[in-house]
Chain A
Amino acid sequence: QSVLTQPPSASGTPGQRVTFSCSGSSSNIGSNYVYWYQQLPGTAPKLLIYRNNQRPSGVPDRFSGSKSGTSASLAISGLRSEDEADYYCAAWDDSLSGVIFGGGTKLTVL
């Protein structure tokens, strides 16, 4: 069972805006940055958002992140079929002294 809690699935139609939630605790999200990773089918994960809301070079501004207290969220606007993937949140956990991932949310673009 993951320490960070994510809903297992989400869906949307092209052009829509979808959001994913990630719930943690004071030892992880509450005291450290949140990161989001996108894993397209059959590929390695890719860094999507770092330090709660920063986008690496090359990541479209359709993707945005936010954090409040012990929760975080990822939003995708203008949904595209190529966004169909698994999305994972991650954070350093001070109690475990390691990185923890959420269980992942599988996005289906209808």
Chain B
Amino acid sequence: EVQLVQSGAEVKKPGESLKISCKGSGYSFTNYWIAWVRQMPGKGLEWMGIFYPGDSDTRYSPSFQGQVTISADKSINAAYLQWSSLKASDTAMYYCARQSPLWSGYIDYWGQGTLVTVSS
């Protein structure tokens, strides 16, 4: 069974750093892209970027380029989304999801989401 299990909810202060994780199982982790999707409170879905664990190819949506870093450790089937300096506007639910191929909106498995709250 394919599963993407994300790390737990986080409460942070503005300016702090954060790295959240997404662990895949039940499939060949290196053969599928992992995307990150943001959902701000009461709002819609936003595709942030994507990572291919097989060769570390990384793409970012223009809206998120330079704001976050996407990475992965294929030795433990984990993908990451990190911030170096959080802002209040980063408060949102973040989903990791399996996407394939790259040039499609075919996202067949989603993590349960990680709620990030940034507040002073």
Contacts and interface: CB of A to CB of B under 8 A. Distances in A.
Place the interface of chain B in its size category. 20 to 34
Size band of the A side of the interface? 20 to 34
A110 interface: no
B44 A32 contact: no
Given A44-B110, A44-B112, A45-B45, A91 B95 contact: no
Contacts of A47: 106-108
A102 B59 contact: no
A47 B49 CA distance: 18
Contacts of A39: 45
Contact of B95 (A44, A90, A100, A104): A44
A86 B43 CA distance: 10
**A contact patch SS:** strand
Interface in A36-72: 37, 39, 44-47, 50-51, 56
Interface string A95-110: 0111111111000000
Interface string B57-83: 001111000000000000000000000
Given A35-B105, A46-B110, A103 B44 contact: yes
Given A32-B104, A45-B107, A99-B105, 12 more contacts: A2-B44, A33-B106, A34-B105, A35-B104, A37-B45, A37-B107, A39-B45, A44-B95, A47-B107, A47-B108, A99-B47, A103-B44
Interface of A: 2, 32-35, 37, 39, 44-47, 50-51, 56, 86, 88, 90-92, 96-104
Interface of B: 35, 37, 44-47, 49-50, 59-62, 95, 97, 99, 103-108, 110-113
